């Protein structure tokens, strides 16, 4: 075991990160990150229309670059002993493919067509289609939305597919299947050439594509044909069987083994979504809400299947056996904008900094350096200033739906708001209101689980925001009136992928064993402040009232 190493690959919204891990104890040997160059330039996106697309070349280049960088840092002795690779991605982030499983954007004639590219999770161009699916589902005696919280989202598989088919007839004619990012990367690494042979993960299939064992797979073809004739026969292009992420998708293809400098027998694991693998990397426990906090949040809760049998939690992003830990029920919720909320405000405050480049007082290089320096300080300084403000029930209040609402009760049409502004309102006070809003949104999720009969016994904080933003985490603990433990690892998603890789390779019998051996534990905990928690409880009621008013 001591000479076995695994690679975890974590595809985020802005970048991909790979890590090499010692499979015996979880020690990180090397890591590398690659920022998507086309995405960074804003190509193929139109934020005003909520269109966010990513080119598959960003993913391929990132995969090769990060793994090669990791191996170069680790040394040849490590490379020779890499046993397995597993991958997590954002989701639902699907793409149209041809019969070989190749994304259409990688085929002639579609190279610059955004509709032939991956439709990023936060693309909300399909709000109309989601509304149609929700209305359509009410016409059937079987509730095909029962395992996805009863509401279908524009962020998900079928809504995005229907939108693309309606929008682009050339893509529609060439589309042989519709594939999640987390399923495509393992297919790519194993050298797949027949879309019918792709192994689809139960994580993406159950939470986003309406797959359920109780339906013997996907809902019947007639359900989709009667929704829109464009979907007639499309289920035949998809899948019936699904696989948990502790299983192998196959062995690495010779081409990729050569490109990466890896052994020919490296196992490639079945893929899953980032937060699902991140929950494992963060050592999730039954009935503890694992909060992966990045641009958005994804909140995972696991419970023994027999203990929640017959319980259907309304308004969440699904409950699927085996989607997080095989043998347990995986329940998903989340917020569409968390770190994105702070980034939005930061960009507003940064706007005057661009005037430095036109300054007659300083040179261009100094202007650029100042823009970088001041931009990097904004959130830190705002946090420190906001933390010093007195807390009153009547302070400015905000609602956090800047990118719509994921849960509870998905609605990507709703908008955010800030109320109670006056001439004394300054940037720290607005920032304070935004931080509180994101934490109130998190509490609404906990409340929904509890109201539906699923207890939340603890909170686990994962990701960069959890580790680097003490003010936000303290507000979170106060608003929740519950302690929140922060996992030691900053790369819990990649670490979780590494744990699944070790399990898929047979180094561990089950993922819980890998989690116990490879987990890095917790090194911080925020306790609720007994003085401020009651005030936040009253402000939470104002948050809910404002949300009701604007929705």
Q: What angle do CA 359, 365, 369 make, to 5 degrees?
A: 95
Is the pTM higher than 0.95? The answer reads no
Q: What angle do CA 139, 146, 411 make, to 5 degrees?
A: 85
Enter the tokens of residue 76. Answer: 């040849």
- DSSP for 94-113 reads EEEE-TTS-BGGGSTT-TT-
Q: What is the Cα–Cα distance from 184 to 197, expressed in whole angstroms?
A: 11
Residues near 381 by beta carbon (within 8 Å), at least 6 away in sequence: none
Q: What is the Cα–Cα distance from 20 to 512, expressed in whole angstroms?
A: 20
In tens digits, the chain (551 residues) has pLDDT values of 458 999 999 999 999 999 999 999 999 999 999 999 999 999 999 999 999 999 999 999 999 999 999 999 998 899 999 999 999 999 999 999 999 999 999 999 999 999 999 999 999 999 999 999 999 999 999 999 999 999 999 999 999 999 999 999 999 999 999 999 999 999 999 999 999 999 999 999 999 999 999 999 999 999 999 999 999 999 999 999 999 999 999 999 999 999 999 999 999 999 999 999 999 999 999 999 999 998 899 999 999 999 998 999 999 999 999 999 999 999 999 999 999 999 999 999 999 999 998 888 999 999 999 999 999 999 999 999 999 999 999 999 999 999 999 999 999 899 999 999 999 999 999 999 999 999 999 999 999 999 999 999 999 999 889 999 999 999 999 999 999 999 999 899 999 999 999 999 999 999 999 999 999 999 999 999 999 999 999 999 999 999 999 98
Q: How many CB atoms lie within 10 A of CB 334?
A: 23
Q: Are 374 and 352 within 8 A, CB to CB?
A: no
Q: Are 495 and 530 within 8 A, CB to CB?
A: no
Which is it for the CA torsion 350, 356, 362, 363, positive or negative? positive
Domain ranges of the chain: 5-282+489-520, 339-488+525-550
Report the top-level CATH class of 5-282+489-520.
alpha beta
Q: How many CB atoms lie within 10 A of CB 76?
A: 10
Q: Are 350 and 408 within 8 A, CB to CB?
A: no
> Which of 421, 449, 440 lies closest to 481 in space, CA to CA?
440
Mark out the alpha helices in 244-338 (DSSP H runs): 254-260, 274-281, 305-308
Q: Are 89 and 273 within 8 A, CB to CB?
A: yes
Q: Are 430 and 420 within 8 A, CB to CB?
A: no
Q: Is the preceding peptide bond at 311 cis, omega within 30 degrees of 0?
A: no
- Alpha carbon distances (Å) from 197 to 158, 177, 216, 250: 21, 12, 19, 11
- DSSP for 517-546 reads HH---EEEEEPPPTTTHHHHHHHHHHHHHH
Q: Are 302 and 324 within 8 A, CB to CB?
A: yes
Q: Are 296 and 391 within 8 A, CB to CB?
A: no
Superfamily in which the 339-488+525-550 domain is placed by CATH: ATPase, nucleotide binding domain (3.30.420.40)
> Which of 189, 175, 35 lies closest to 105 in space, CA to CA?
175
Do the domains 5-282+489-520 and 339-488+525-550 sit in the same CATH topology, yes or no? yes
């Amino acid at each position: 075991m001591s000479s076995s190493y695994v690679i975890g690959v974590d595809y985020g919204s802005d970048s991909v990160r790979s890590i090499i891990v010692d499979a015996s104890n979880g020690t990180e040997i090397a890591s590398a990150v690659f920022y998507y160059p086309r995405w960074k330039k804003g190509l193929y996106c139109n934020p005003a229309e909520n269109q966010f697309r990513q080119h598959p070349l960003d993913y391929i280049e990132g995969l090769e670059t990060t793994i090669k960088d990791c191996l170069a840092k680790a040394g040849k002795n490590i490379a020779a002993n890499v046993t397995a690779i597993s991958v997590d991605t954002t989701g639902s982030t699907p793409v149209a493919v041809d019969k070989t499983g190749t994304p259409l954007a990688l085929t002639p004639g579609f190279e610059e067509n955004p509709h032939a590219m991956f439709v990023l999770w936060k693309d909300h161009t399909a709000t109309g289609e989601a509304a149609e699916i929700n209305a359509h589902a009410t016409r059937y005696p079987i509730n095909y939305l029962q395992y996805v919280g009863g509401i279908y989202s524009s962020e998900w598989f079928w809504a995005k597919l229907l939108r693309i088919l309606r929008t682009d007839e050339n893509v529609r004619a060439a589309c042989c299947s519709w594939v999640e990012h987390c399923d495509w990367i393992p297919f790519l690494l194993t050298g797949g050439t027949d879309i019918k042979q792709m192994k689809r993960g139960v994580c993406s299939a159950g939470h986003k594509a309406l797959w359920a064992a109780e339906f013997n797979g996907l809902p019947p073809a007639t359900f989709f044909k009667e929704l829109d004739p464009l979907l007639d026969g499309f289920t035949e292009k998809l899948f019936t069987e699904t696989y948990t992420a502790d299983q192998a998708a196959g062995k690495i293809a010779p081409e990729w083994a050569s490109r990466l400098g890896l052994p020919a027998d490296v196992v490639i694991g079945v893929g899953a979504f980032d937060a699902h693998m991140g929950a494992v990397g963060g050592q999730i426990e039954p009935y503890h809400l694992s909060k992966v906090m990045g641009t958005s949040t994804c909140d995972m809760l696991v419970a023994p299947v027999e203990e929640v049998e017959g319980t259907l939690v309304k308004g969440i992003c699904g409950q699927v056996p085996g989607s997080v830990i095989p043998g347990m029920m995986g329940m998903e919720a989340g917020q569409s904008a968390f770190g994105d909320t702070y980034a939005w405000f930061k960009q507003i405050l940064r706007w005057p900094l661009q005037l430095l480049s036109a300054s007659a007082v300083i040179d261009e290089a100094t202007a650029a350096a100042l823009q970088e320096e001041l931009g990097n300080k904004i959130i830190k300084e705002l946090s420190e200033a906001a933390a010093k403000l007195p807390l009153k029930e009547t302070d400015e209040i905000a609602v956090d739906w800047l990118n719509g609402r994921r849960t509870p009760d998905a609605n990507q049409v709703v908008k955010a708001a800030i109320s109670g502004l006056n001439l004394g309102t300054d940037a720290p006070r607005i920032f304070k209101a935004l931080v509180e809003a994101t934490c109130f949104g998190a509490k609404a999720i906990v409340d929904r689980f509890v109201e539906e009969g699923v207890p939340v016994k603890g909170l686990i904080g994962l990701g960069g925001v959890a580790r680097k933003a003490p003010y936000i985490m303290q507000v979170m603990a106060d608003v929740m009136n519950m302690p929140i433990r922060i996992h030691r690892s900053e790369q819990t998603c990649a670490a979780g992928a590494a744990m699944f890789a070790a399990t898929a390779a047979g180094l561990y019998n089950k993922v819980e064993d890998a989690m116990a051996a490879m987990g890095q534990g917790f090194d911080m905990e925020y306790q609720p402040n007994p003085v401020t928690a009651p005030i936040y409880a009253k402000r939470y009621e104002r948050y809910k009232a404002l949300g009701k008013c604007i929705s």
